[in-house]
Amino acid sequence: MDTKTGIAVPPPVVEIEKLELFYGQTQALHGITMPIHERQVTAFIGPSGCGKSTLLRCLNRLNDLIPSVRISGRVRVAGEDIFAPDCDVISLRRRVGMVFQKSNPFPMSIFENVAYGLRIAGERDQRVLDQTVEHSLRAAALWDEVKDRLGSSALRLSGGQQQRLCIARTLAVEPRVILMDEPCSALDPIATGRVEETIAELKKEYTIVIVTHNLQQASRVSDYTAFFYLGRLIEYDRTVKIFTNPGLKQTEDYVTGRFG
Ligand SMILES: Nc1ncnc2c1ncn2[C@@H]1O[C@H](COP(=O)(O)OP(=O)(O)OP(=O)(O)O)[C@@H](O)[C@H]1O
Ligand SMILES: [Mg+2]
């Protein structure tokens, strides 16, 4: 229970603790501590270069791919320390899926794009594949638009459809958390609206973290908002609070468009 508002606070599924990240000599994240609440949408906002993508990539260890990166502090996903030596990164990335800014469907059919993760995991049962593909496409609000052409190339879909296909591909492996880095920045307002509706639907089952430069989008889709500046978490609270009555002047200036 939040003592000030009396609103029940869902338990955290991700716990970030004193996280510091360096790219070589340059420190990009400074002592980030925050929970990510289960089945809520959390938005990361802040000016370009403040560390939003860097932090997002920590949550499924995508920064491992960058050799100069050094990390200290802790991230727990469902209680498990993801930087522990015995953490299985493949399984982590299945549990914490990622949707990128630029949709990146594979050059194969719509069906195969969604089935991809399951096939990699060794699933051969056609019935399971069929069911999962349908379920994932429905959950990503794309099924009705593509059900008659599952065998055709994913590359022929529109940008907005491709982005929802990437969401479906992420859902197929049943993640617990979905990370989205500016998923709508390449989309028109109508396609953006569809993706936002999809997000609203998905949060019944999944925990979502979304990075966005679109403050209206953050206020529309998220329950919690974290405002970052120069690699520091400046303010983190319920989205309504951040946008209507932030605790700090710096946050207020940013959300009202006075700087950034
Ligand atoms: N691979 C990298 N190597 C070195 N420095 C990096 C790398 N990626 C990001 N940085 C630096 O880390 C800081 C944070 O970058 P990051 O991409 O996380 O910011 P961001 O908030 O996502 O910005 P944007 O809104 O522009 O996407 C920046 O100063 C950036 O230059
Ligand atoms: Mg970024």
DSSP result, 185-253: TTS-HHHHHHHHHHHHHHTTT-EEEEE-S-HHHHHHH-SEEEEEETTEEEEEEEHHHHHHS-SSHHHHH
Span 49-65, average pLDDT: 95
How far away, in angstroms, is 22 Cα from ligand 1 center? 11
Q: Where are the domains of the chain?
A: 12-255
The number of the ligand 1 atom at minimal distance from the alpha carbon of 46 is: 21
State the pTM of this model.
0.92
Give the model's pLDDT for residue 3: 64
Q: Summarize pLDDT for 224-251 with one digit per residue, the tens.
A: 999 999 999 999 999 999 999 999 999 9
CATH node for 12-255: 3.40.50.300
> Model confidence at 191, in pLDDT bands (50, 70, 90)?
confident
Mutate to test the pocket of ligand 1, among 27, 50, 65, 98 (most ligand atoms within 8 A of CB): 50
Res. 88 pLDDT band, cuts 50 70 90: very high
More confident residue, 181 or 103: 181
Does position 106 have pLDDT exceeding 70, yes or no? yes
Which of 29, 48, 54 to mutate to test ligand 1, by most ligand atoms within 8 A of the CB atom?
Answer: 54
Q: Is the pLDDT of residue 5 over 70?
A: no
φ, ψ for residue 172, nearest 5 deg: -60, -30
- DSSP β-ladder status, 96-99 and 177-181: parallel
**Is it the case that residue 2 has pLDDT exceeding 90?**
no
pLDDT for residue 153 is more than 70 = yes
Ligand 2 is an ion; its neighbours by CB within 5 Å are: 53
DSSP codes of every residue in 79-122: TEETTSTT--HHHHHHHEEEE-SS----SSBHHHHHHHHHHHTT
Quick one: pLDDT at residue 8? 74
Give residue 193 CA to ligand 1 midpoint distance, Å: 27
